Amino acid sequence: MNIVAINGSPRREGNTATLCRRFLEGAEAAGKDVNTRLVHLYDLDYTGCRSCFACKRADDRTYGHCGVKDGLHPLLQELAGADGMVLGSPIYFGDITGAMRCFLERLLFPHQTYEPDYRTIAPRRLQTAVIYTMNVTEERMRQFGYDKHLAHMESVIGRIHTSVRRLYAFNTCQFKDYSRYRAGSFSEQEKLAWRDTHFPEDCRKAFLAGQEMAAGIAHAAELSYLCRNIKPNEP
């Protein structure tokens, strides 16, 4: 079993990366044969979709495959053989980061056909979870409609792969020392108190979600094996 975490934050050791690691730790705790890897998108040199349409050509060599061979290409190949993925992104202006958006364009568009039924041709329908970290509280998030906006991309992911499990971390700390920045809208004491109280619970939820994904993948694989090997009753 292979589960890949995609960190869409520019910070390798920030809130998003931490929750991605906890998710993978949970997956590893669920069984012996679970292989995990954490990928930092900002380490890769790539762009979003270039509209070359190589993935839509009537040519079996390119159809359904992203034709751009840049720093993202090895990751796309890896995910074609994976069982699950967790996508982690901080929220910038109410949306996922540009790096995550570009990644999703390249991952999803080749597997969305232009046939009348718009069916998916993904090599494997990955179990998927998303982790959103944000500076605002849950109340503000819903007031600004972030959840409704984010649901659109989740619906695309669900159509091509599987329904998305969603995790949030609210009111996160952005700075180690708020006194060094002009950020008068925030109280450092309140931010630190929130982090100490709530972020451990966010980590626990990420760990449990990783366990649940790995267990679900293992269960689906077992059912698939049984279905392939059940012999019809002989007369």
pLDDT in tens, 100-150: 999 999 999 999 999 998 889 999 999 999 999 999 999 999 999 999 999
Q: Which residues contact 130 (CB under 8 A, 6 or more apart)?
A: 86, 87, 88, 89, 150, 154, 157, 164, 165, 166, 167
pLDDT for the residue 234: 47
Is CATH 3.40.50.920 the right assignment for the domain spanning 2-229?
Answer: no
Question: How far is the C-alpha of 97 from the C-alpha of 65, rounded, in Å?
Answer: 24
Mean pLDDT for all residues in the chain: 94
Q: pTM, whole model, 2 decimals? A: 0.93
Q: Is the pLDDT of residue 182 over 80?
A: yes
Q: Is the pLDDT of residue 225 over 90?
A: no
pLDDT in tens, 3-30: 999 999 999 999 999 999 999 999 999 9
Domain locations along the chain: 2-229
pLDDT for the residue 188: 92
Sign of the C-alpha dihedral computed for residues 101, 104, 106 and 109 taken in this order = negative
pLDDT for the residue 145: 96
Question: How far is the C-alpha of 235 from the C-alpha of 227, rounded, in Å?
Answer: 20
